[in-house]
A = this chain, B = another copy of it.
Amino acid sequence: MTAERRHAPPTQDELDLLHYQSRIERPVAAKIPEFSRDERLRHVIFSRQFSVELLEDLAGTADKIRALSKARAGQDFLIGLLSHKRAMLYFTQPSTRTFLSFMAACQILGITCNEVRDPSTSSETKGETRFDSIRMFSSYFDLIIMRSPVAKLAEACAYLMNDLAASGNRSVPIVNAGSGADQHPTQALLDIYTLQRTFQFTSPKDSPIGTRFDEIRRQYANLTRGLSRKVYGFCGDIGRGRTVRSLAELLAGYEGVSLVFVSPQHPALSLGDDMRSRLVNRGVRVFEVESLETPIDGRPVIETVDALYMTRIQKEHNDPADEATFAAIDFSKYKLNRDLVNRMKSYAPILHPFPRDQFFGEIPQEIDADPRAMYFRQARNGMWARAALLAHIFNVDHQISRYYHEHYE
């Protein structure tokens, strides 16, 4: 679009984004307050909107929703909470997983879902601007969950909604379900939630006599519960994996974490300078290595990490100019196999944002049966975490806690 129009006058869509350029260019910290209202998130645009306190709060809500969903009475209670709300899932960039995860999350709370996925069937073909489309959605629906190939579009839509509210017009919350290459906050939310659950080290078999945590501690005496003071490995496409960046940002909020980035030494694939300095400034120990075998604190990464986050090599984003240098890279170092997994800590979860690439094979299926393989449960966690986020936005999380405490304690 922009490319072929480079020498043409800007389109209204481009002008609409330009209109918010100065607000978009502020540092994230300066922007975050605008996306909250009455002490809670109004729009969800950046992963950095999730403070550690909020993350703990959302995890608590997600755990309760999950528990209530085990029995019909709880399910009916949840479905009744927001049955008067209608959501628009505006996904002009395809993503079946994120889309279905949000659908399910809405349905758990009784929200009626509507979708626009193929822009070609939309009024845009009649020359309508994106902002006019968004205002249309906001006039019919109570929530807009959007995923777009256009960077910053979700952020700009949040400003539009705030400006409408300021001028006394109807305005609805915007949830960013992936905006260009820059942000995918709810993916980071579910990654954190998966780590939170894993590092509770609880198990149905736990008893006053002994718990799974006690058991693990026989082998790992210094192990503590929670996300702090742990070593997190990220392996594969670090440079282009927005989920890696978002998760790293959130982990930086916890005390004494070490982040190990395992990727080829190639500017497109390795950690960005801005990201590195931001992490270091927040007191994170950052390691960048080319292999899971490289030693950290005297032992290979694969044996050191408390959690391993695998990623897909995003070939579809390859710059043709890089093909030559890419061809020289030994990508086999960024794939797991049985032997590697066997050397990992017994409790260390393997995560992956999915989909995994069957042709590249960063996680071969032989790993799926391993107790450390968390990536399938991770998907279901995404549904619970997103439901918790929606409950927070619509201010029904306290009702959930109340119902839970009345019926389950």
Complex CA gap A86/B75 in Å reads 12
Residues of B with C-beta under 8 A to A101:
140
A287 close to chain B: CB less than 8 A: no
In the complex, the answer to whether A135 meets B79 with C-beta atoms within 8 Å is: no
When each residue 344-381 of chain A gets 1 if its CB lies under 8 Å from chain B and 0 otherwise, what string results? Answer: 00000000001111111000010001000000110110
Task: Assess whether A170 is interfacial by the CB under 8 Å rule.
Answer: yes
| Complex CA distance for A128 and B72, rounded to whole angstroms | 33
Smallest Cβ-Cβ distance to A15: which chain B residue: B365
Question: A205 to chain B: closest CB distance in Å?
Answer: 12
A139 in contact with B379 (CB, 8 Å): yes
Q: How far apart are the CA atoms of A302 and B173 in the complex, in Å? A: 38
The answer to whether A125 and B94 touch across the interface, beta carbons within 8 angstroms, is yes
A11 to B123, CA, bound (A): 31
Taking a contact as CB atoms under 8 Å apart, the answer to whether B84 and A369 are in contact is no
Q: Closest CB of chain B to A361's CB: distance in Å?
A: 8
- Evaluate contact between A132 and B355: CB separation under 8 angstroms: yes
Tell me the complex Cα distance, A369–B122, Å.
Answer: 25
Q: Does A343 contact B (CB under 8 A)?
A: no
Residue of B nearest to A128 (CB): B355
Q: How many residues of A contact B (CB 8 A)?
A: 62
Q: Are B107 and A112 in contact (CB under 8 A)?
A: yes
Cα of A123 to Cα of B14 in the assembled complex, Å:
29
Q: Are A79 and B84 in contact (CB under 8 A)?
A: yes
Residues of B within 8 A of A135 (CB): 376, 379
Considering the complex, which residues of chain A in the window 304-335 have a beta carbon less than 8 Å from any beta carbon of chain B?
A: 312, 316
Q: Which residues of B have CB within 8 Å of A170?
A: 380
Closest chain B CB from A363 CB (angstroms): 10
CB pair B358–A140 under 8 Å, yes or no, is: no
Q: Which of A49-104 contact B (CB under 8 A)?
A: 72, 75-76, 79, 83-84, 86, 88, 94-97, 100-101, 103-104
Interface residue from B121, B133, B137, B167 paired with A369 (Cβ < 8 Å): B167
A107-148 interface mask toward B, CB cutoff 8 Å, 1 = contact, 0 = none? 100001010111011111111110011011101110000000
Chain B residue with the shortest CB-CB distance to A95: B123
- Distance of A11 Cα from B377 Cα, bound (Å): 25
Per-residue CB contact flags for chain A residues 153-172 toward chain B (1 = under 8 Å, else 0) read 00000000000000101100
Known: A133-B96, A380-B140. A86 touches B114 (CB 8 A): no
From A119, which residue of chain B is reached at the shortest CB distance?
B96
Query: Is A12 interfacial (CB 8 A cutoff)?
Result: yes
Contacts of A137 in B (CB 8 A): 100
B379 A140 Cβ-Cβ under 8 A: yes
Query: Is A13 on the interface with B (CB-CB < 8 A)?
Result: yes
**Do residues B86 and A104 form an inter-chain contact, with CB atoms below 8 A?**
yes
Max chain B C-beta neighbours (<10 A), residue from A121, A140, A167, A380: A140
Q: Which residues of B contact A365 (CB under 8 A)?
A: 12
Rank and list the top 9 A-B pairs by shortest CB-CB distance, nearest first.
A128-B355, A12-B358, A75-B84, A127-B357, A123-B355, A139-B380, A104-B140, A96-B122, A94-B121
Which residues of A come within 8 Å of B, CB atoms?
Answer: 11-13, 72, 75-76, 79, 83-84, 86, 88, 94-97, 100-101, 103-104, 107, 112, 114, 116-118, 120-129, 132-133, 135-137, 139-141, 167, 169-170, 312, 316, 354-360, 365, 369, 376-377, 379-380, 383
